[in-house]
Structure 1
Amino acid sequence: MQTEEANKLLDTAKIHLISRPDSVFITTILFSLRFQWDTSSTLFSTDGKYLWINPEAFIRLTPDQRITLLAKAAYHTALQHVSRMKGKRKKHWYVSCDYATNDILKGTGFVLLDDAIHEPVYADQTSEDIYTIVDMVDERDLPFVHQSIRECEDMDAEDMAMWVEERVQSAFMKAKLMNQGSSIPGCVTTFLNNLRTPKLPWNRILDNVLTELAADDYSYQKPNKRYLDQNFIMPGLYSERLGSLRIYVDISGSITQVEFDQFISEIFHIVKKLQPSVTEVISFDTRLTDKHTVNELRDVVELVFHGGGGTRIGPVLDDIKEEKPEVSIIFTDGCFDIRERPIPREGQIFWIIHDNLHFKADTGKVIHYELLER
């Protein structure tokens, strides 16, 4: 009986959410989630694929709050709060994500839940920005939040991240096609753009890398399917995947936050398209500061670097010479003395240069680019 009542209230809340102006983005995300009633949840939870709601708790909410709950689950998914949780303290991350989503909900006219946490100081900040502050708080002093995020149990982390990303991108495009792009909160649009709309001419990079480095050859282990129905076994063309890739990110004081965000966006697309066997991401200013191994796409979103002084290219060139990666990609504004060291000739080097048309290098390929327009 309770479930029957909850089902009616859920249908009503969905109808009202759909009836809101400019609702295409949020409802497309919501309806991509597989729904289940779940008495083990204190209120609701989502892993980006499923949405679980406690029926008794849902019935106790006001009509406006039920709509808010559905929208909140959708925003947790849109911002990929599950895949971005890796390496963070869970309770602190839950609190950070609640601050971020509640700010979005309040700013877009939703009625917050009675026990919702909201601080104007966190307005328009990302969950990661908020986490850097919340992480300094003792766990015992954290405000209460419902555990609205849970890890997926039937897909591995990378497959889950890609599964969610496809649906978020689909919702994003549907809203654009319906002239509802303005309905998507700015922080959501920025996050999606940062990862999904690269400005660089990666077709040029890929052409060079694949032409020069892919080991194209014929093999009978992968026969040409075109001839199988003719009773001929002909060798097929195959290419080995890219080997070692080393990406260097300039974090010196001359690099702005916008430039740094663009670097992260482009790293995401490099890893996604080239699928190297080994990827190392290293930050530098006057020295090499942080080194990260990227095992899956979501690792790119969680990259953290420290530094911010001057800029020297010498340590980068020394590292390339010592490690001999197959491909080296250097993100920088080129504001340094390139004559500091001879440029190694090991492997392929790509200089990705922003806002410095005077930059030249006698070894490697130089590609200039512009920042995304916001």
Structure 2
Amino acid sequence: MDRDTTVLGAMSSTGAVHPRIARQRTELVLSQPFFGALALRLNVREDPTAKTFWVDGETLGYCPGYLDSLSDLELRGVIAHEVLHVANGHCWRQGAGDPKRWNDACDYAINPIVLSSGMVLPKGLLVDPRYTGKSAEEIYGLLTQDEKQKQNQPQPQPQAPEPQPQAPPLQQESSSGPPSQSNQKPGGSKRPQPGQQPEQPADNNPGSFGEVRPYKGSDKPVKEAEWKVAVTQAAKAAAMRGKLPGDLQAMAGEAVRPVVDWRAVLHRFAQQSSPTDYSFAMPNRRYLHLGFYLPALHTPAMGDAVFVRDSSGSVFDETQAQFDAEILTVFHSLKPARLIVMDCDTRVTQVQIFERGDSPEIMPVRGGGGTAFADPFNRVAQDGMNPAFLVYLTDMVGKFPAVGPHYAVLWASTTPLARARKAPFGETVEVMC
């Protein structure tokens, strides 16, 4: 029995692990223990229907033909690449997003980490300095914006072909004419010669050598928690051996950071900011028949609920749409005196005001340009608004007011809190859509 079989005698659901995968997992255990320890957690399954590799949080699937096309070093890098998808939680967080765009975003997020660890990846991999250090969600938003900008660009109108001169009616085309003419299609492309493969269209996604699939099991929270523990343990073990590069250490810390549902924080913040107290003006009726005159919980009329949307273009459309939905939920559940929605880049560009009992339809964001946060607070004071609270959706990149207001403020940051600028006042929550 060779070393690979001794170290990695794991069996997949369909049989023994492919010997090349077993060998490269062994090499990862010995040379890159962080990747190696996590790779052993995945079942390995041959999947002839796959194009390349895939991972879903439990299984590592592979196309045998694609595996044969990889060198040993490339195969090792691809295994590490797939491991990082799970370690980063990409299998749990896809949601309802576009699968291909999510896969690309995840690749952009982890490929630099694999390369910085000294490994080799197949040619054409997805790497872009603009995305280095960003989360998959941030990159997904950027890719979505890029796609929408492309769709909004005016398409060039096809030009009518110039009329070709007609040959004399009785003139015949010579069979000994130049090949460049006899092998032309009407559209101008060459006909394939005998034994020559026709030209194939360019691959729209040449850098995709693996697929992220969402985990389908009913025990998703348990599986996700188990992987967070495994990532922490693998990082500690690799660090003790001096084989945990800085990029991996930062990634491991970010991957196991608790994720807080920003929607729950928003609703909790709004409820806590609404005035509620016990009052003898409205006695508790439950105890009157017993002769007890006790105070009842009294909720006086709530002030204005003010929401500000960063309209500088740095907050993505999908995030704006989800934020708008939560604005309406807060309005219908808390019933503030008024709902006020402002858009602001460096100045307030749009104000929408809805009274209690209205059925608001929030208009699209209006603005574009730089970012400064002071004008909405100035507008609140100038227009005599009475906010119970103010929630500001932004990437936190801009000039903050020097002094905070008397009402509660929640900054909804689209930038991860580890990298976001700290607001001088108020509470901050990270928005992940």
The TM-score, its normalising length taken from structure 2, stands at 0.47
In structure 2, the residue matched to 1:143 is 205
Distance 1:309 1:96 in 2: 27
Does the residue aligned with 1:51 lie in a helix, a strand or coil? Answer: strand
Q: Is the counterpart of residue 117 in structure 1 residue 125 in structure 2? A: yes
Distance 1:292 1:192 in 2: 32
- Give runs of aligned pairs for residues 73-152 of structure 1, distance below 5 A: 73-82=82-91, 85-86=94-95, 88-113=97-122, 115-120=123-128, 124=132, 127-128=139-140, 129-130=142-143, 132-133=145-146, 136=150, 142-144=204-206, 145-146=208-209, 148-152=211-215
RMSD (Å), alpha carbons: 5.4
Structure 1 distance, partners of 2:255, 2:357, is: 36
The aligned residue for residue 360 of structure 1 is 405
- Separation of aligned partners in 2, 1:322 and 1:334: 30
- Which one of the candidate residues 22, 30, 48 is aligned to 1:19? 30
- The range that moved more, 170-179 or 30-39, is 170-179
Deviation (angstroms), 1:51: 2.0
- Aligned ranges 1:282-293 → 2 under 5 Å: 282=324
**Structure 2 CA distance, aligned partners of 1:173 and 1:15?**
20
Is the alpha carbon distance of 1:60 and 1:10 closer, same or farther for their aligned partners in structure 2, counting shifts above 3 Å? same
- Structure 2 CA distance, aligned partners of 1:210 and 1:29? 47
Once the two structures are superposed, the pairs formed by residues 145-224 of structure 1 within 5 Å of their partners are: 145-146=208-209, 148-155=211-218, 160=220, 162=221, 165-167=224-226, 169-174=228-233, 177=236, 179=239, 180=244, 182-184=246-248, 195=259, 208=272
CA apart distance, 1:365? 3.2
Provide the rounded CA distance (Å) in 2 between the counterparts of 1:309 and 1:59: 53
Q: Report if the CA contact (8 A) 1:13-1:63 is conserved.
A: yes
SS of the residue corresponding to residue 324 of structure 2 reads strand
| Contact kept? 1:349, 1:365, Cα under 8 Å | yes
Deviation at 1:167, TM superposition (A): 4.5
Separation in structure 1 between the aligned mates of residue 205 and residue 410 of structure 2, nearest angstrom:
48
What residue in structure 2 maps to residue 309 of structure 1?
Answer: 345
State TM-score, norm by structure 1. Answer: 0.53
Offset, 1:49: 3.4
In structure 2, what residue type is equivalent to 1:349?
Answer: F
Counterpart amino acid of residue 405 in structure 2: K
- Alpha-carbon displacement from aligned partner over 1:133-175 (angstroms, at most 9, x marks no partner): 46749997613434512344444xxx74x45653454355436
Q: Take 2:412 and 2:146, find their aligned partners in 1: how far apart are those partners?
A: 34
Determine the C-alpha separation between the residues in 2 that align with 1:123 and 1:308.
Answer: 26
Alpha-carbon separation, structure 1, partners of 2:358 and 2:55: 42
Alpha-carbon distance, 1:121 to partner: 5.2
CA separation of 1:373 and 1:82: change in aligned 2, threshold 3 A: closer
The gaps in structure 2 that reach 5 residues or longer are 1-13, 156-200, 278-304, 331-342, 361-371, 420-433
Paired AA for residue 55 in structure 2: T
The residue identity in structure 2 corresponding to 1:142 is: N
- 2:323 aligns with 281
* Aligned equivalents of 2:211, 2:52: Cα separation in 1: 8
Partner Cα separation in structure 1 for residue 47 and residue 39 of structure 2 = 17
* 1:350–1:105 CA distance, 2 compared to 1 (3 A): same
**Equivalent residue for 1:54?**
63
C-alpha contact (below 8 Å) 2:310/2:392 kept by paired residues: no
CA distance in 2, matches of 1:323, 1:99: 44
Once the two structures are TM-superposed, the CA of residue 320 in structure 1 deviates from its matched residue by 7.7
Distance apart, 1:358 and its partner CA? 1.5
Deviation, structure 1 residue 63:
2.4
Cα distance in structure 2, aligned partners of 1:211 and 1:173: 43
Q: Do the aligned partners of residues 120 and 17 (structure 1) sit closer, same or farther apart at CA in structure 2, a change above 3 Å counting?
A: same
CA distance in 1 between counterparts of 2:324 and 2:69 reads 51
The 1:95–1:182 alpha-carbon spacing in structure 2 relative to 1, beyond 3 Å, is closer
Higher-helix-fraction structure: 1
Is contact 2:26–2:36 with CA below 8 Å preserved after alignment?
Answer: no
In the alignment, the residues of structure 1 paired with residue 77 and residue 306 of structure 2 have an alpha-carbon distance, to the nearest angstrom, of 42
Q: Structure 1 vs Structure 2: percent identity of aligned residues?
A: 15
Distance, in Å, in 1 between the alignment partners of 2:274 and 2:381 is: 29
User: 1:82–1:151: 8 Å Cα contact kept in structure 2?
Assistant: yes
Residues 46 and 335 of structure 1: is their aligned pair in 2 closer, same or farther, counting only changes over 3 Å?
same
| Deviation (angstroms), 1:207 | 10
Find the aligned partners of 1:369 and 1:121 in 2 and give their Cα distance.
Answer: 26
